[in-house]
Amino acid sequence: MTTATIVQPRLRLEDPHDCTDANDVLCIFDAFFDGLVRFGEDGGYRPAIAESWIVSSDARDWTFVLRENLFFHDGTECDAAAVILSLRRMARADKGYTLGAPGVWHQYLGDANISAANERTVTISLSHPMADLLDVLVYGYVIAPAALEGYERGDVTTPIGTGPYRFESFTDGHEISGSRFEGWHGARVANARIRFLLEPDESRRQNMLLAGNAQVANGLGFRKSCDLDSGGHTRVVSLVPVSIIYLFNSARGPFADPRVRRAANIALDRHALVKTVVCGAAHPLPGFVSPTHFGAGDSAPGMSRDLAEAKRLLIEAGHGDGLVINVDCPTRLPDEAEALTAAVGHQLAEIGISFCVHRHEDREAYAHDVRLKNVRDMCVFDSSPLSTFRVLAEKIDARSRGSWWLGYHNGEVERLIDEGRRTINDTARAAIYASAYRLLQQDPPWLYLYNPLRITGLGGKHPQWRMRPDAVLDVTMLPDFGIKADRHD
């Protein structure tokens, strides 16, 4: 048998029904679990536990037909009743917790009627239209009913799903291993065994790849990894859809004025920020979501730097003599937050904006403060996931007052959110979101900065291999590395 060893900077087992955008955690979830759907290689969704689905014309009622003869790794059948147990669990108000934000999934599924028409049919009836429900269900991992009791006790060490690999062991927090599940519904995965190894140091990860001790190394250094191109290895650069931004406090203070928000945005040289702060390892962000988000793409030309217009807007807003901004800045997540704040402050000084920086070392407490709106004028943050609708609904829509909403209001954008909710035609809905994208360039709720780039190294030459659009390593897409498994076989 062959094995694929993946070395990555973070390694942990978590509850699949909590919400995360951590690439390395989602990679492990996708190895052992399925949802009703999975991400497609080129965007969109493909069948997983569900072989097909239909949605009503008002985007409220969804019907999923499950595959026949589908089994969990423990040999029990994955039927509609089992799927519903997991969906109802993830919909609970005490689940779906991510850093600083409780009940992420509850806001969409908490009042839904989730039922079984028969053993192979799951229906989800929503109280409000949601044409983008698959954006949530792709993270709706289905756990074997026998394993749920352990998760309720907080024991996350025995994942049992229907995914392409069957979990085998979790060793000292440094290694997770699994073997190919021959009963998986998809195309047979190339490698019979899989190992995830923890190595926090990016140079060591690259050296493990070069020495043949790993076949995949994730999160490599942007510049140093260029060495892979000249050897017998593959270097893949992927745009991460998580956006590095500053949230503006639009409820009070100077950024309650849309002219000041726009002035700050058009005063930035994002290319220079990328070069100086992250050494080129990012892509300038022209709008509220990444170019890979649904409905974004080439819908707008970007925000060009215009210092004269920025100064004019500040004068018009009554700040011709300058403006002092209080900035909340964590020391990690993003790890370059302090250097970024210094660089942004240097650029905005050209239009008369100066910073008073307030440093935060406890990142979780910082996230809670943001959620509770205990921020000053603006704060360093990031924005995810790869769902245009979710970003709009959770962070832009003033009516929902989501965890990361800070007082912004734009009635026309909210009208487009409602229109997108009930538009089930993908092409028409993408055009709606493109309109929202353009509006949010003219009236930005945040200071848009950049999307990070993620560097992945593979052993051998695989010129056609690409990361999935959400920048999560999909183990089902890995090539056959032809490495014989070790004695643990």
The residues near 245 (Cβ < 8 Å, ≥ 6 apart) are 285, 381, 382, 383, 446, 447, 448, 449
pLDDT at 221: 95
Is residue 485 scored above 50 in pLDDT? Answer: no
pLDDT computed for residue 299 by the predictor: 57
Q: Does 36 reside within a domain?
A: no
Residue 29 lies in a domain: no
Say if 431 falls within a structural domain.
Answer: yes
**Residue 84 pLDDT greater than 70, yes or no:** yes
Task: With cut-offs at 50, 70 and 90, classify the pLDDT of residue 487.
Answer: very low
Q: Which two tokens stand for residue 147?
A: 């394993």
The two tokens of residue 155 are: 């024991």
Rounded to 5 degrees, φ, ψ at 442 are -75, -35
In the chain, count of helices (H) and strands (E)?
14, 18
Q: In the prediction, which pLDDT does 59 show?
A: 98
What mean pLDDT is predicted for residues 180-187? 96
Domain count, the chain: 1
Rounded-to-integer distance, Cα 379 and Cα 407, Å: 14
- Parallel, antiparallel, or unpaired for β 233-239 and 446-459? antiparallel
Half-sphere exposure of 64 (CA within 13 A, CB side): 27
Distance of CA 269 to the CA centre of its chain: 25
What global pTM score does this model have? Answer: 0.94
Q: Residue 76: enclosing H or E segment and its boundaries?
A: none
Q: Is residue 27 part of a domain?
A: no
Q: State the average pLDDT for the chain.
A: 94
Lowest mean per-residue pLDDT among 284-298, 332-346, 434-448: 284-298
Q: In this predicted model, what pLDDT tens digit does every residue of 144-164 receive, in sequence order?
A: 999 999 999 999 999 999 999
At residue 306 the predicted structure's pLDDT band, cuts being 50, 70 and 90, is very high
Asked whether residue 327 carries a pLDDT value surpassing 60, the answer given is yes
201: exposed, middle or buried (Cβ count in 10 Å: 0-12, 13-18, 19+):
exposed
- Residue written as token pair 């900065």: 449
Mean pLDDT, range 396-412, rounded to an integer: 95
Q: Residue 368: which of 351, 381, 358, 355 has the closest Cα? A: 381
* Predicted confidence band of residue 1 (pLDDT cuts 50, 70, 90): low
The count of other CB atoms within 10 Å of the CB of residue 469 is 20
Residue 386 lies in a domain: yes
3-class state of residue 315 by DSSP: helix
| CATH label of the domain that carries residue 344 | 3.10.105.10
326 and 358 Cβ atoms separated by less than 8 Å: yes
Q: Is residue 430 part of a domain?
A: yes
> Which residue carries 């087992």 as its tokens?
13
In this model, does residue 92 exceed pLDDT 90?
yes
Three-state DSSP at 148 gives helix
Locate 188 and state its tokens: 């047979």
Res 189 pLDDT > 70? yes
Indicate whether 80 belongs to any domain.
no
Residue 64: how many CB atoms within 10 A of its CB? 24
Does 291 fall in a domain?
Answer: yes
Q: Is residue 275 exposed (0-12), middle (13-18) or buried (19+ Cβ within 10 Å)?
A: middle
Summarize pLDDT for 97-142 with one digit per residue, the tens.
766 667 899 999 999 999 999 999 999 999 999 999 999 999 999 9
Least confident of 301-305, 326-330, 382-386: 301-305
Domain assignment of residue 312, given as a range: 243-451
Tokens of 48: 């997983």
In this prediction, residue 106 carries a pLDDT of 94
- Specify which residues 5 forms β-bridges with: 195
Give me the half-sphere count of Cα atoms (radius 13 Å) on the Cβ side of residue 408.
28
CA–CA distance, 70 with 448 (Å, rounded to integer): 44
